[in-house]
Chains A and B, each alone.
Chain A
Amino acid sequence: MSAPPSYYGRPVVKEPVWSPEVAVYFWLGGLAGMSAVLGFAARLARRPVLARASLLAGFAALLACPPLLIADLGRPERFYNMLRVFKPTSPMSLGSWVLSFFGGALGVAAASEVTGWLRPIGRLGELGAAIFGLPLFTYTAVLVADTSVPVWHEARHHLPFVFAGSASASAGAAAAILTPSRESGPARRLAILGAGVELGAVAVMERQLGRVARHYHHGPAASPARMARMLTAGGALLMVAIGRHRAGATIAGTMILAGSLAERFAVLRAGPASARATAGGETVRAIASELGRPPRPAWQR
């Protein structure tokens, strides 16, 4: 097969412009979203210590999210335009609304938890945060998959599992660090499960990507991808081995948290490398029906 034609080696798709702040946001947003789910489950299971730790860890992670997102904008002073419309076709629009409702609910829950005031409303906030937490830790994967960047779009069936696993691992790890080991059993199990899902989903994703997966092994994404594998796997093994002791859980949890952050950096950095590779014929694959004459979707007619 001859080399695909190229115009002076210039990429077809433009490189994404998202800064490292976005990778940190993906990590913290995932941590906050899953922590709210974990905290609510702990409340239902009558484990108040674990519920409180998860709730406050999630709230702390949440606080950093808006500044990170605003800093990444080309016109930060217009950040409020994110809530100008509600647009189901835009994962970023949905995500902005999810983050807003999640933040409101978790803020109420955290305030009630700390002050002891208005407990029923605080519990309602916990429920709301758990509900909005679910899209919060997955929409970021949808966001990057919904682009013309081959390494993201071709992994569209796998990235949500990578992010969900990574979020579960980090939320479990954070709660395991913040909770006495007598209370932290479910958090530790969640961290181990999440790490397993993350590593498994990454392996399946790379297999499916084929040649495109090379961006996770060469170039700017290679080192965070390697760190993510080592820290997540090592942290999970340590959590199994010595997680029952608080100190052990702290070491293992820190490794898992760092691995989860590294994974988001790997995904974010693979994007621009893949966009550059569109100069050499790397592309989003059209499926058979898209080469024919597919009908326009209803919302576009």
Chain B
Amino acid sequence: MAKPYPPPAFVAPAKPGEPVGFFTDSSICIGCKACEVACKQWNNVPVDDIRYLNSSYDNTGELSANSWRHVAFIEKKQADGGVAWLMNSDVCKHCKEAACLDVCPTGAIFRTEFDTVVVQADVCNGCGYCIAACPFGVLTRREGIASHPETNGVAQKCTLCYDRLSGGEEPACAHACPTKSIQFGPLDELRERAQQRVADLHAEGRTEARLYLADERDNGIGGAGSMFLLLDEPGAYRLPEHPVVPTRRLKEIWGAAAMAAGLAVAGVLFAFGSSRR
């Protein structure tokens, strides 16, 4: 017998040591932004400067220190002249090889017992390295929020509701999602469910459906804690086609640096060696 989809709302508490995450199924997202609101309410994420962005129903714009969930709205022209309205709730990918975590010089960013990636706001000194390192452009520095002086100047992002997980609850966004487009659970289970879902959609003739970051190891980021089912190319949703963790190439970069330093030493030796006194 086929399992009901989406699955019932009840979610067993996350167990420490068992990787958990999100499967965001954009095919059943209705663009209500309950996730954005729930996230702001639960995590006390301040309101950004709200401007009219001229991008369908999206005035949030992109993920940032003050937007840990972001619902994208795409108006896609169809061959028959109609418009397909695509929505997807984006979030931190909680990479298994996390660039932000690797480059953070203070240890403010750490990996939790749930295999998620969290910034400690009271340790971060706002060096900005994680911002440029993240291949998904998730992080920014929170600046000039009068109501949040303790986190101004500090990098902020989704914590996958670390406090709620510790308390046996699911993340606020997944809890608030009325269609279960955002599904929380153990990653093994989510991966399996995502594969089944995309197969079902293909069987229905919706061949534009594709999985993003649902491979355990793939994607140049060693696997992700957030996977997506998309109805268009990743780029249409502001997602990189082939994300790569820059820190993966750290050895070869240091190798080049060692050769450059060696060349400089050789230059010094030559400069002295060729002197006639």
Chain A residues close to B by CB (< 8 Å)? 4-8, 10-18, 34, 37-38, 41-42, 45, 72-76, 78-79, 81-82, 84-85, 87, 89-93, 95-96, 134-135, 137-139, 141-143, 145-149, 153, 156-161, 163-165, 167-168, 172, 185-187, 189-190, 193-194, 197, 271, 275, 278, 281, 283-286, 290-297, 300
Contacts of A10 in B (CB 8 A): 61-62, 238
CB pair B154 A74 closer than 8 Å: yes
B13 interface residue (CB < 8 Å to A): no
Contacts of B141 in A (CB 8 A): 17, 74
B28 interface residue (CB < 8 Å to A): no
Q: A209 CB to closest chain B CB, in angstroms? A: 15
CB pair B261 A138 closer than 8 Å: yes
CB pair B127 A74 closer than 8 Å: yes
CB pair B136 A275 closer than 8 Å: no
In the complex, A294 Cα to B217 Cα: how many Å? 7
B78 interface residue (CB < 8 Å to A): no
Indicate whether A84 sits within 8 Å of B106 (C-beta atoms), given known contacts A135-B261, A292-B218: yes
In the complex, A76 Cα to B152 Cα: how many Å? 12
CB pair B105 A92 closer than 8 Å: yes
Determine, out of B3-11, B15-23, B95-103, B174-182, the stretch whose residues face the partner at the interface. Answer: B95-103
In the complex, A93 Cα to B104 Cα: how many Å? 8
Q: Which 3 A-B pairs have the closest CB atoms?
A: A74-B126, A74-B153, A7-B238
Interface residues on B, range: 35 or more
B30 interface residue (CB < 8 Å to A): no
CB pair A134 B215 closer than 8 Å: no
CB pair B218 A293 closer than 8 Å: yes
CB pair B247 A89 closer than 8 Å: yes
CB pair A148 B134 closer than 8 Å: yes
Q: B21 CB to closest chain A CB, in angstroms? A: 16
B108 interface residue (CB < 8 Å to A): yes
Indicate whether A12 sits within 8 Å of B240 (C-beta atoms), given known contacts A85-B107, A161-B256: yes
In the complex, A252 Cα to B73 Cα: how many Å? 57
Contacts of B55 in A (CB 8 A): 7-8
Q: A186 CB to closest chain B CB, in angstroms? A: 4
Determine, out of B40-48, B161-169, B205-213, B264-272, the stretch whose residues face the partner at the interface. Answer: B264-272
Indicate whether A74 sits within 8 Å of B132 (C-beta atoms), given known contacts A14-B137, A85-B107: no
- Give the interface centre of B62, B236, B264 by most chain A CB atoms within 10 Å: B264
Indicate whether A81 sits within 8 Å of B123 (C-beta atoms), given known contacts A5-B232, A92-B105: yes
Return the contact of B252 from the options A95, A147, A156, A193 (Cβ within 8 A).
A156
B187 interface residue (CB < 8 Å to A): no
CB pair A12 B137 closer than 8 Å: yes
B257 interface residue (CB < 8 Å to A): yes
**A-B contacts, 25 listed (Cβ < 8 Å):** A8-B55, A10-B61, A13-B137, A14-B134, A38-B268, A74-B153, A74-B155, A82-B127, A85-B105, A87-B105, A90-B105, A146-B253, A147-B246, A157-B253, A161-B256, A164-B260, A168-B268, A190-B268, A193-B271, A271-B132, A283-B240, A284-B135, A284-B244, A285-B242, A294-B217
CB pair A82 B260 closer than 8 Å: no
In the complex, A256 Cα to B133 Cα: how many Å? 32
In the complex, A141 Cα to B264 Cα: how many Å? 14
B189 interface residue (CB < 8 Å to A): no
Q: B118 CB to closest chain A CB, in angstroms? A: 16
Indicate whether A11 sits within 8 Å of B97 (C-beta atoms), given known contacts A135-B261, A160-B253: no
Indicate whether A4 sits within 8 Å of B129 (C-beta atoms), given known contacts A87-B107, A193-B270: no
Given A82-B125, A159-B256, 20 other A-B contacts at CB below 8 A? A8-B53, A8-B58, A13-B135, A13-B136, A16-B131, A17-B128, A41-B268, A45-B272, A74-B126, A84-B123, A138-B260, A142-B250, A146-B103, A156-B249, A157-B253, A158-B256, A161-B260, A185-B275, A197-B263, A293-B217
CB pair A281 B235 closer than 8 Å: yes
CB pair A197 B267 closer than 8 Å: yes
CB pair A82 B272 closer than 8 Å: no
CB pair B125 A186 closer than 8 Å: no
CB pair A189 B132 closer than 8 Å: no
Instruction: Mark contacts of B52-63 with chain A using CB atoms, 8 A cut-off: 1 yes-contact digit, 0 otherwise.
Output: 011100100110
In the complex, A13 Cα to B138 Cα: how many Å? 8
In the complex, A297 Cα to B95 Cα: how many Å? 14
In the complex, A189 Cα to B153 Cα: how many Å? 45
Contacts of B263 in A (CB 8 A): 161, 164, 197
In the complex, A96 Cα to B106 Cα: how many Å? 10
Q: B239 CB to closest chain A CB, in angstroms? A: 7
Return the contact of A74 from the options B97, B128, B267 (Cβ within 8 A).
B128
Indicate whether A290 sits within 8 Å of B126 (C-beta atoms), given known contacts A90-B103, A275-B132: no
| Chain B residue at minimal CB-CB distance from A41 | B268
